[in-house]
Structure 1
Amino acid sequence: MRGRVAGPVVVAGLVVAGLAGALGAAGALATRSLLRRQAAAARALIGKPLGETAHDADRVVRKRYADRGPCLELLMVGDSIAAGLGAETAKGTLGSRLAKDVAKAVKRPVRLRTVARVGSESSMLLDQVAGLPASYRPDVAVVVVGGNDVTHRVPVAESVRHLQACVRALQERGAAVVVGTCPDLGTLQPVPQPLRALGSRASRQLAAAQREAVLTLGARAVSLADVVGPFFITNPDEMFSLDRFHPSSMGYHRTARAMLPSVLAAVGVRDDVPFGHHAPATR
């Protein structure tokens, strides 16, 4: 799972030119100067990146579910969060946590397959899906993407267009799709204000657009900023890994639990949609 890491250095420089420009001509120079100083301070505070490789977590979760039906195929698509960068062990990644929780609920073994790549933007999603064997048919695909689009100043409309193309490609393979929308970059507490607030606004704008875009295609959306973001704010030492940007194993544990209701609904195990979970309207 190799790729360009949008880690602390990139996040600390969070769209400095673009966000400053968005504030208008008046005071733009002073704003740019302030944000650049804050970016430099953030680089020193956040810490070193974790590298470009997440743990290889792909496996079949069997245990006591081995003889209770065929494997349920779970596919992870997206960026470093979907890949599990920051988890201390392979079993601590988001995909591995979801596979274990889904297996418990459906009483069947779950085969985890991960095509997510560290550093991916939404424009890279379709290639991840296209690289799968033509015969592969996932039961449910979980997509998490958006943080790199924000930090690399990708226009929202462009990000959403690529995400929709990915969702369609997954649905053509027969997958039910659950999208974890862009996390709130305002939870990165080592990033000072106003840089952090601007990052929060940009990431929430993208998340809202992602949610509406995938619902129109019949996919499900989970607002990560709402359902798991508060844990990262109140318990940053536990929820973040050493780089203070990617989740730790505990952070992935919380994120998996937060996404689980929509994943189970996607495979027909539950019908209710809790707060922060969005299902397409029935017709």
Structure 2
Amino acid sequence: MFAADQLARLPLVPLLVAQGLGVRRRVNRLPEPPGARAGTDGEGPTLRLLIIGDSSAAGVGATSQTNALSGQLVAQLAQTHRVHWRLEAATSATTRVTLDHISTLMPQTYDVVVSALGVNDVTRATSERTWIARQTQLADLLTSSFGASLIVASGLPPMGDYPRLPQPLRWVIGEQAKRLDAALATLAATHDALTHLPLTVPFEPHYQAEDGYHPSEDAYALWAELIADLIRQNLPA
């Protein structure tokens, strides 16, 4: 059975496409920040970390990778561990694009994988069934070929609250984001390695980058803290 927003899309398709193209032109103006995408930091027990995802994982909205998700997460974890880390993320990446990319990497062992995906699956109207199939494939690949015992799947942001998204696009995208996020949480509840982390960063102006779409450096700091806390809770004692 189709939800109300899915039924509403049909007569609104021309308008939604036009609004979507306008939004895409605006939000693609911010570059991925410079900085290291792999390294080692901290002292203590070894923690091998892989970060994958889309423009948010790639740090769009920050001035450098140090101030983006990867840098701030590594800084958090390096307080208690020797962190060997790598970032594999790209603007506009969907789950399928990320799955294809990860499949080409030389297999190596990671203790923890952090995944930030879904926004581009939402904007491309990926169905819930396809989304879960690809997320399952990705989680299975990360456990089988990369040895990950913990995969932190960050939840989708509240896209229906983005003030710079015009209506009715905002409503349609917001409902789709809720649907995919709920499905991801359900998948995580049944997958041995996958953990869903609801994205609870407050939706306030100082947590938004200048485009009103990507996280700010303050948001990346809070997001990294939430992820680091979850990782620590799930690491072996």
Whether the TM-score (by the shorter chain) exceeds 0.5 is yes
Give the distance between the partners of 2:103 and 2:15, measured in 1 at CA: 43
Aligned residue in 2 for 1:55 = 34
Give the distance between the partners of 1:33 and 1:193, measured in 2 at CA: 13
The offset of 1:37, in angstroms, is 7.6
Aligned residue in 2 for 1:124 = 97
The offset of 1:216, in angstroms, is 1.4
> What is the SS of the residue equivalent to 1:115?
strand
> What is the SS of the residue equivalent to 1:148?
helix
Matched, 1:213 2:192: no
The answer on whether the counterparts of 1:140 and 1:266 sit within 8 Å (CA) in structure 2 is no
Aligned residue in 1 for 2:169 = 195
The offset of 1:259, in angstroms, is 2.1
Aligned residue in 2 for 1:110 = 83
Matched, 1:162 2:134: yes
Task: Kindly report the root-mean-square deviation, in angstroms, between the aligned alpha carbons of the 2 structures.
Answer: 2.6
The answer on whether the counterparts of 1:55 and 1:93 sit within 8 Å (CA) in structure 2 is no
Matched, 1:22 2:10: no
The answer on whether the counterparts of 2:33 and 2:64 sit within 8 Å (CA) in structure 1 is no
TM value normalised by structure 2 = 0.85
Alignment of 1:132-151 (within 5 A): 132-134=105-107, 136-151=108-123
The offset of 1:198, in angstroms, is 2.1
Cα gap change, 1:108/1:150 in structure 2, threshold over 3 Å: closer, same or farther? same
Alignment of 1:201-280 (within 5 A): 201-218=175-192, 219-224=194-199, 227-228=200-201, 231-232=202-203, 235-236=204-205, 238-268=206-236
Cα gap change, 1:56/1:162 in structure 2, threshold over 3 Å: closer, same or farther? farther
Cα gap change, 1:165/1:48 in structure 2, threshold over 3 Å: closer, same or farther? closer
Aligned residue in 2 for 1:79 = 54
Runs of 5+ unmatched residues, structure 1: 1-18, 270-283
> What is the SS of the residue equivalent to 1:157?
helix
Task: Report the number of matched residues.
Answer: 230
Q: Which stretches of structure 1, 4 residues or more, deviate above 6 A after TM superposition?
A: none
Deviation readout 1:216-239 (Å, 9 max, x if unpaired):
112111111xx22xx12xx22x21
Give the distance between the partners of 1:33 and 1:138, measured in 2 at CA: 44
Report % sequence identity: 26
After superposing the two structures, state which structure 1 stretch, 140-149 or 181-190, moved more: 181-190
The offset of 1:49, in angstroms, is 1.6
> What is the SS of the residue equivalent to 2:89?
coil
Alignment of 1:28-67 (within 5 A): 28=11, 31=12, 49-51=29-31, 53-57=32-36, 58-62=38-42, 65=43
The offset of 1:209, in angstroms, is 0.7
> What is the SS of the residue equivalent to 2:57?
helix
Give the distance between the partners of 2:100 and 2:20, measured in 1 at CA: 32
Deviation readout 1:162-198 (Å, 9 max, x if unpaired):
1111111111222111111222212311123343222
Normalized per residue, the structure richer in strand is 2
TM value normalised by structure 1 = 0.72
The answer on whether the counterparts of 2:6 and 2:172 sit within 8 Å (CA) in structure 1 is no
Give the distance between the partners of 1:48 and 1:81, measured in 2 at CA: 12
Candidates 147, 151, 154, aligned match of 1:180: 154
The answer on whether the counterparts of 1:100 and 1:110 sit within 8 Å (CA) in structure 2 is no
Runs of 5+ unmatched residues, structure 2: none
The answer on whether the counterparts of 1:20 and 1:32 sit within 8 Å (CA) in structure 2 is no
Cα gap change, 1:257/1:133 in structure 2, threshold over 3 Å: closer, same or farther? same
